[in-house]
Amino acid sequence: MIALLALVALADEPIHGPGTEGHRIEAVDAGTGLGVGGKVVVGPDGGTHVLTVTARVRAGDFALGGSLPFASYRVPDGRDGNLGNARLWAHYRLPWGSLEQYVGLRVHFQVGKPSWTWANAADEVWPGAGVEAYWESRLGGDALKWLLRGAVGFHVARAYEPFPEEYVRFQVAGGLDARIVGPLGVVGEMSVQYWDTSPWEVAGLLRVDPFPALRIRAGAVLPIAVWAGLAPAEQPAGVRESTLLVDLTFSP
């Protein structure tokens, strides 16, 4: 903790605000802050709820962060709930060129008793561990900003269907963050990743900034590949699940 505070104190131009993010695309351009978010998977194959707490520390072009989810899910005799995987990451804003871009590394590992469920991402809740390298970029201005992400990682997991014992995941994602009027805006994202429990997704969210340090978002994630029957879980094709989400980020 002392080292993190020292980094903040030494930053020449501290970055403030909640930054820009989608569902899979991270808020790499956010300042130091805290966040909390919730997901609810709805539909015949739904029933999973995930609450995630996130913290970030920013010092100039370097940032550290972490998140911890808690999942509640259906079991044959009712519901169960346990922690998911802790995620820790660090990234750096590349200092050259006119393109705003970041490179980073993220690790995840199981915390506590296993949670035998997932909500879209394979490495968030289901017990496992892994490391992932990622690149993100931002293009545009305050009114309209394009978001890009690419990532590759190696992961291990508890090998029960549909999860393999180990897997490599490649990911590409693109999105936009557009201001509608005043503090109101919209976020759209499309992501493709494999291996993953949701290989192709589209997400849409509304965002509002009641004041500059606070952002509230709400929207939905549509798992297109799952609907098409192209996901690893054995289930019939059809609109059998979607994810509703809401999050709040405070970054003074």
Q: Give the integer Cα–Cα distance in Å for 231 and 192.
A: 12
Label the pairing between strands 184-194 and 85-93. unpaired
Report the pLDDT averaged over residues 228-250: 93
The CATH number of domain 2-250, selected from 1.10.420.10, 3.40.50.970, 3.65.10.10, 2.40.160.40: 2.40.160.40
Q: Give the integer Cα–Cα distance in Å for 52 and 35.
A: 8
**pLDDT score for 148:** 98
Tens digit of each residue's pLDDT (9 = 90 or more) over 56-106: 999 999 999 999 999 999 998 999 999 999 999 999 999 877 789 999 999
Among 95, 100, 14, smallest CA distance to 57 is for 14
What long-range pairs does 3-10 form, CB within 8 A, spacing at least 24?
4/57, 4/59, 4/64, 7/57, 7/59, 7/62, 7/64, 8/32, 8/57, 8/58, 8/59, 10/59, 10/60
For residue 251, how many C-alpha atoms fall within 13 Å in the half-sphere facing its CB?
Answer: 28
Has residue 25 got a pLDDT over 80? yes
Q: Give the integer Cα–Cα distance in Å for 191 and 24.
A: 7
All residues at 6 or more sequence positions from 1 whose CB lies less than 8 Å from its CB, including other chains:
none
**Which of these ranges, 11-20, 27-36, 60-69, 231-240, has the smallest mean pLDDT?**
11-20
Q: Give the integer Cα–Cα distance in Å for 110 and 130.
A: 10
Has residue 178 got a pLDDT over 50? yes
* Domain parsing of the chain, residue ranges: 2-250
Tell me how crowded residue 182 is: count the other CB atoms within 10 A of its CB: 8
Q: Give the integer Cα–Cα distance in Å for 203 and 100.
A: 23
Label the pairing between strands 242-250 and 214-222. antiparallel
Rounded to the nearest integer, the mean pLDDT of the chain is 93
Q: Give the integer Cα–Cα distance in Å for 39 and 208.
A: 18
Has residue 113 got a pLDDT over 90? yes
Report the pLDDT averaged over residues 6-26: 72
Has residue 1 got a pLDDT over 80? no
Q: Are 178 and 144 in contact (CB under 8 A)?
A: yes
8 vs 105, which has greater pLDDT? 105
Residue 136 Cα to chain centre, angstroms: 13
**pLDDT score for 99:** 85
Tell me how crowded residue 236 is: count the other CB atoms within 10 A of its CB: 8
